[in-house]
Structures are given as structure tokens and as C-alpha cells.
Amino acid sequence: MQIHSITIDNIRSIEHLELRDIPASGVCMISGPNEVGKSTIVEAIDLVLSEKSTAQKKWMKSMRRVGSTEPMRVSLEATIGDQHFTISKQFLNKPNARLVIHSPNPRTYTDDQANDELMQIIDEHLDSNLHKLLFVKQGALDHTLGEVGFNQLEKPLQLADAGDGAGIAQGSQSELMAKVRDEVSRYYTKTGKPSKELKQAQQEVKDATKRHAEARAAITDLSAQLENYEAAEAELARLKPQIPELKQQVEASQREVVRAEKRESERERLQTKKDVEEQKKQRIEERKKQRARAAEELAASAQRVTECERTQQELELQAKEHAEKIERLRSALDAAVEAEQSARAEYRVWEQHQHAVRERIRHQKDTEFLAQYDEYTAEISQQKKKLPEDVPSSSDIARAEEIAEKIVYAQATVAAASSTLTLSSAAGAEIAVNGETQTLSDTATVVKVSERTTLRIGEVDAVIEPAANVAAEKDALDQLIRERDQLCTEFEVDSVQQLKQIATTAESITADIARLKKARTRHAGKRDVDDIRDAVEKFQAAELPEGMSADEAGEKALEERLNELRTAVEQADAATAKARTNLEEARTSRIDQDVAVAREKLKDAIDEQKRRAQALEAAEQEHSDEAEEEQLRSLDAQLATLTAALQALEEDDSVLSLEQARRAAEQDETLLKNTEGHLEEAYRRQSEIKGSINAYEGAAEKEKIAKAELERVESILARTQHRADVAKLLLDTLERHYRDVTQRYAKPIREELERLAAQLHEGEVSYEFDETGLVGRVIREEQLSVDELSGGASEQLGLMLRLAIANLAANNAESDGVDTVMPVIMDDALGNSDVLRLKRLSGLIEREAATKQIFIMTCDPQRFAAIGKRKEYRVEELKRAAHSTPLSNR
């Protein structure tokens, strides 16, 4: 960022101030007594860049000049990245904003558009954290990176690799660390022993285990009639066999869906092939038309040869009769001159009419240009409204695909409980069975499971035991299905494919917006839209003769009329010249030359006829009519075949439509789900029957309660232990990555800081950093903590730190593509430094200002007298100069 000029009105002690012609680099010193407005300049720059003109914050009201009811105004001319602009804002009273972009693409915005466009420029080209780092206000020249903030340096320095701890170094990492430490303290002491919630959960499990053991001992002698229990068993026996049958029915429905999807895919393939063949046919027919046009041109050439021959005969006849025309041409000469003058006068009148019509046509085109430009702008706004509110990230999609793959694995494991394993997939899919790769076909593949079997599905290895615990594996399958449904519910979709479609739709809409913006820019080109609007609004049409239209037809009619008049003028002029020429020819016998010219034209016409004949012959040899007719017949046959195939697919009743197949599959899945619900209800009734068996003074009920309580507290302990482990792992990971990122930032800053310090101190100077920032300085083996530095030394270190950050940011600007070059602004920031230290610092400031703007606000400019190359401004003179500027020039 580079500041060129600033104008301030009615802010604090400044009624009006203008600071212009600021050098692109070097030291700019702004001096004046206390309370004269030096700090106000810094605040005004911050205000115009950071706040919208419509902002109504309390602290802004205190900035208005005391006793004034006029609005606050700030105008700043600056360059950010490749954008050279002037932003003017009026605050509080009748707020407004105007942004004029001078280059590279001149344009103007007002009010909300100006505020939004400025924020967009800043976001695209500038790291806003540099504003806080390098605009040093009074008493704010800190020297520790802990106060400066590592997290504020990530974008300007770009030292961490993408994805390697970068997220940890942003924003509120200290707040995140505090929250994670608080979470860990809920479960562990500082020495790592269980405490609070985790210790309480462990004790509750121990107590529940003891109560459950006592309840189990009480029912060891329980003997009662279990008739109701056996009835529940019979109900379970009736429902259990239905589940496999219903699952087979669901699988059959799903296979029917696959068949319907294949038929739909085949229909799309045939339609695409048909479209390609039709395009070939169109190209052949176009070539036939081109050959027909060539034949017509050849015929026109033959006609021209005939005309040239006739012209030659006429000229030869004229050569014989030229003596008779001498007297007639003498009298025609005067008439031709008079006709020429009349034609030229009429031509000039019609030329004026043509100019008026063209002005009106240009006005209409400008109006249409503006309508198209505004249409692009409206369409961009509509596309932005179409963007989905919630767009799944790539990690969400990857998680959904991982769950789907695990569901396939779990389904295979459940199915392996039987003696065979049936696998179905698209033809060509591969699966490894006990290390041997098999390729699946369209039909189902059956794998016998008579011993321990290892399957490899994708990247997942599945070990199948014939005697697997089906219920446990089914629970795992149900859990995976619930995770999938939860992810789909989060984004309000029914499948992983729809989740992908949302991401694809968002990407497509974003691409459409970029395309529309590019089309609008291409449509505008180098034309100034505002100038065109102004021209359209100011256009005044000249009057036209009655019956003349100001459109392309009118312009064409005028052009034809002017051509007629031009031809008449030329003919009149030619007639005059011809009359004179004929007289001379009659005396000198020049008629023979006209005959020679006619013969030459005839020769040229004959040559042109030959060239066109050769071109037509070459075109016919390259693509003969017979070959292309044969190709057309072949294409017609292929198109008929494809049309028939498409019609056959539409008429094939053996395969359900895709919608019908999916509806049938949903119905079968619903029936299966309902039956499983009945089975679950039967299990629940069986459990209630167990609880009702209380033949031994309620011992069974007590055992059930004790067992349920044990399972509940064990579940609580498992969840608590899991949360504790996750919190501990997260804390360890955050601390490790935070240390790594901190060291990445510290190294380049330390090296640049030591380079600057070497210019001030005799001997080598080094600095020490930890994860909190700058903590120590070593000069000639003497080590000091930053807390032990004097006020002047602390200010000196703080200034060097700001310059080091600015240099690193500027060096990174070209490679990063982000404009992180910022001016360094110091507002009375070296008040504790003595004269000797200021002299050394002045040399350092002057050298560093060779590559950047450095603004120094001071009450005493003599303190910086050692800075030789500087441009000095006095606030009082800036105010007087502003008041002396005529209002029309402000």
C-alpha cells in the first residue's frame, strides 16, 4: 500500500487539512505542537480504510470537531496492489461514500457499492493485520512478539507450509488453547491422574459392579415357570426367518434399480452417437452448398467475358464513328459541367442528413450497450443468490464415501455368517479372496466360507469367520447407517451422490459468476461506461426530413442515395472529362487506346474464368458428389438404426423405469424396516417378561436394574474416558504444532532484527524467542530479558521489530501475489529515547525509508535532525494551505 494524498474535514482539532504530493518512498515528517492534529491524521487514515461511511459507533461521535455540526469527511488517494484509487467518505451527517478507481480499469462507485468495493480491494490485496502492526500510535511501540501476535504475521510472511499448522496460527489460538486446557482439567490433575468427572465415573462403575454382583447372587436359585417367556421365544422364532427373505427381496429390488440405470445409460449413449452422426451429415451438406456457389461464380465469370467481348465490339464501332461525335460532345460539355455542379450541391445536402442519422444510430447502440452491461450486472447478482447456504467440504464428502465403503464391508461381514457369501457389482470390479484376485461379472459371485477367509475390498481387509457374531456386526452396520443418515441430514440430502451434487452446484455457480464478470469486462472493453451514460443522457437529435428513419434501414437508404449522388457526380465529372477526352481523341485518334484497354479487360476476364474453373474442379476432385452421396446414404442408415434402437429401448417393458424401480426398492426397504421393528418390539416384550419373573422376592427385577445401571455407568465412563482422551490428544497436538509454527515465524524475524541491530550496536547482537515471542537480547555475551530493558532501549527494539516485519512482508509481496507492502507510521513513538540513541535511530530510519514510506509524527522535529533526506510538513501550514485553496478546487 502506498499513500499519495489525504484530505480531512471536521475531525477533532482539524477543520480542514490537505496533505498532497507524498513521495513514493522516504521519510515524511509531520510536526506541530500537542493537540494540533498529528494523531488525528493517523486516526483519519484508519477511519477511511476500516469503517463504512454508514457506521454510527459511539466513539466516532467523539471524533467530530468540537462545536461543529458539519459532517466528518476524509478523502484518501492510495495504491493497493495494482489498484490506484481515491476513496472519499462522509460520516454521521448524511453519510455517503465515493470510490474512484483511476487504474488499471477506471470506474466509479458510490455509497454501499463504494464501501463494499473498497473492502474487496483490501481483502484481495492487503493483509489487514499489518495495519495494526505498522501504524504505531502514541504509547503503542511494544517490543514483544507475544503482544504483536504471531497469528497476525501468517499472511504477510507466508512462512508455514499450506496445511501444516497454518490454521493453528490464526485468530484466536490462545482462546482455543485455554478452552482445551479447561476441558482437560475436567478429567485429569496436573500430574495426569484422573480427577473430577473421570474419577467420579470410575467410582460409579465400581459401585454398580458391586451391586450387580450382589443381585446376581440373589437369583442363583431362581426357578420359575417361563410360559410367557416361551411364547415370546415363539414370536421371535416366527419373525427371525422373515428377515433374510425380506433382505433377499430388497437385494432383488436393488438389482432391478441397477438394470434400470443401465438402460438409461444405454439410451444416453445412443442419443449422443446419433447427435454425432447428424453433425457429420450437416458438414457434408455444407460442402455441397459450397461447390454449388463455386459453380455459380464460374457462370458469373463467363457472363463477364461475354460482356467484355460486347464492350470491345462497341468500342471498335465507336472508333469508326468518333468523327461524327465531335460536334455533339462540344455542346454536351457545357451541359455536363452544369449537371456536375448541381449534383455536388445536392450531394452536400444529403451528406448532412447522413451525419444526423449516424448520430442517432450511435445513440441507439450506446443505449443497447448500457442495457447489456446492466443485464450482466443483474445476472451476476442473481447467481450470487443461488449459492447454497451450506456447502459440504471435501472432507465431508470423503467422510461420506468412507462410511459408504465401511457399510459395504459390514454388510459383507454380516452375510458371511451363512455358509456362502454372494457379491454383486458392476462388471470388471475386482476383489481379493485369501490373497487371490477375482474379477466380478454382471452375475452374482458366490464365495464359499468354510474356514477363516480374508477379503480385500478397495483398501479394506475383511477377515470372515464362519461362526461370526452376527448381532454384533449388525449393530456395527446399523451404527454406520446412522452416521451416514446423520451426515445426509446435516446437509438435507438423501444420498452421498446428492452431497457431491451440492458441492458441484456451488462450484458451477461460482464459475458462472466469474464467467459473467469476465463477459461484462469483455463487453465493456476499454470503453468508459460513465462517459457513455453521460453521452446518452445529453444526446439531442437533429431534425430529419419527413419520411426519413434514423435506423440501419434509414442509414442504408441514405448510403444508397449518397452512392447514387456520388455516382451522378462522378458520372457528370466523367462526362465532362469524357467530352474533353473525346474531342482530343478525335484529333489525336486516342480511341485506339480505349480499344486496347477493352481487350486487356477481356483477357483478365478470361483468366479469371479459368482460375474459377480450376478451383471448382479441385473441389470436386477432393469431395466428389458420388462419394459424398454414398456417405450420406450410409449416415442415413446409421441414423435410422440408432433411432430404431432408441425406440426399442423406450418400448422395452421387460425393465421397469428408473423411477418405478427406485419406488419399488423403497417399498421393500420400508417393509424390511417395519419387520425389523416388530422383531425389536418382540425382544422388548421378552425383556419385560424377564422383568416380570419375580418368583424369588423380586430378585430378577433387582438384577435387571443393577445390570442396566452397570451398563449405563459403564457407557458414561466410556464416553467420559473417550472425551478425556480426545481432549488430552488435542491439547498435546495443539501445543506441539503451536511450538512448530512459532519457531517458523521467529527465525526470519530474528534474522532481520539482528541485521538491523548490527547497524546500531558495535559487535554482534542476537535475540532469543520462545512460543510467546521475543524474550531476550544478547550483546557481547551480555544477556538481558526484554523486561529489563530501559524505556529508550525498549522503544528502539520495538521500532526495529516493526521495520523487520515490514521488510519481510515487502520481500514476500512479489512471490505471494498479495500486496503486503505497507507504510510505517509512528505517532510520537520515541518519546523515551535520548539524543544519542535518536541520532543512531535516525540513520537506520533514513536507510530503511529508501524502499518504503515512513511517516513520523512529532512535536519536536529537531529530535530527528540527523535524518537528512526527508520531506517535512507542519500541521499549521497544511491547515492554512487548505483554507487558502478555493472551494472550487477542493
- Whether 241 maps to a domain, the answer reads no
Cα(552)–Cα(709) distance, integer angstroms: 91
Cα(613)–Cα(294) distance, integer angstroms: 9
Cα(409)–Cα(339) distance, integer angstroms: 100
Which segment, 143-152, 310-319, 342-351, 372-381, is predicted with the most confidence on average?
372-381
Query: Residue 575: helix, strand or coil by DSSP?
Result: helix
Whether 164 has a pLDDT exceeding 70, the answer reads no
Q: Are 55 and 880 in contact (CB under 8 A)?
A: no
Whether 306 has a pLDDT exceeding 60, the answer reads yes
Q: Which of 490, 515, 542 is the last residue of a domain?
A: 490
C-alpha cell at 770: 520462545
pLDDT of residue 74: 95
Residue of 511 and 464 predicted with greater confidence: 511
Cα(13)–Cα(41) distance, integer angstroms: 11
pLDDT of residue 587: 65
Whether 594 has a pLDDT exceeding 70, the answer reads yes
Tell me which residue range forms the domain holding 402.
Answer: 394-490
Task: Return the HEC string of 65-94.
Answer: CCCCCCCEEEEEEEEECCEEEEEEEEECCC
**Could you tell me the pLDDT band of residue 842, with boundaries at 50, 70 and 90?**
confident
**Could you tell me the pLDDT band of residue 77, with boundaries at 50, 70 and 90?**
very high
Whether 79 has a pLDDT exceeding 80, the answer reads yes
- Whether 65 maps to a domain, the answer reads yes
Lowest average pLDDT, out of 318-327, 388-397, 454-463, goes to 318-327
C-alpha cell at 50: 476500516
Q: Which of 444, 475, 490 is the last residue of a domain?
A: 490
Whether 525 has a pLDDT exceeding 80, the answer reads yes
Cα(255)–Cα(259) distance, integer angstroms: 6
Whether 230 has a pLDDT exceeding 90, the answer reads no
**Could you tell me the pLDDT band of residue 218, with boundaries at 50, 70 and 90?**
low
- Whether 46 maps to a domain, the answer reads yes
Which DSSP helix (H) or strand (E) runs through 521? helix 496-524
**Could you tell me the pLDDT band of residue 152, with boundaries at 50, 70 and 90?**
very low
- Whether 109 maps to a domain, the answer reads yes
Whether 885 has a pLDDT exceeding 60, the answer reads no
**Could you tell me the pLDDT band of residue 818, with boundaries at 50, 70 and 90?**
very low
Instruction: Kindly state the average pLDDT of the residues 221-239.
Output: 66
Dump pLDDT digits (tens) for 674-691. 888 888 887 887 777 666
Instruction: Kindly state the average pLDDT of the residues 188-208.
Output: 85
- Whether 117 maps to a domain, the answer reads yes
Cα(456)–Cα(467) distance, integer angstroms: 20
If one counts the domains in the chain, the total is: 2
Whether 193 has a pLDDT exceeding 80, the answer reads yes
Backbone angles phi, psi at 653, to 5 degrees: -95, -5
Work out the percent of the chain whose per-residue pLDDT is above 70: 78
Q: Are 110 and 98 in contact (CB under 8 A)?
A: yes
Q: What is the mean pLDDT of the chain?
A: 77
- Whether 875 maps to a domain, the answer reads yes
pLDDT of residue 323: 59
**Could you tell me the pLDDT band of residue 102, with boundaries at 50, 70 and 90?**
very high
Listing from the earlier edge strand, what are the strands of the sheet with 135-136? 135-136, 824-827, 853-858, 26-31, 870-874
The single residue listed with the C-alpha cell 535524518 is: 867
Dump pLDDT digits (tens) for 15-41. 899 998 899 889 999 988 888 888 888
Lowest average pLDDT, out of 344-348, 633-637, 788-792, goes to 788-792
pLDDT of residue 166: 37
Cα(778)–Cα(701) distance, integer angstroms: 76
- Whether 122 maps to a domain, the answer reads yes
pLDDT of residue 810: 66
Q: Which of 442, 458, 490 is the last residue of a domain?
A: 490
- Whether 440 maps to a domain, the answer reads yes
Instruction: Kindly state the average pLDDT of the residues 85-93.
Output: 92
CATH number (domain holding residue 866): 3.40.50.300
Whether 450 has a pLDDT exceeding 60, the answer reads no
pLDDT of residue 772: 60
In a 13 Å sphere around the CA of 721, the CA atoms on its Cβ side amount to 10
**Could you tell me the pLDDT band of residue 409, with boundaries at 50, 70 and 90?**
confident
Dump pLDDT digits (tens) for 117-149. 998 888 777 655 555 555 655 555 544 444 444
Dump pLDDT digits (tens) for 614-637. 887 887 777 777 777 888 888 888
pLDDT of residue 314: 82
pLDDT of residue 631: 80
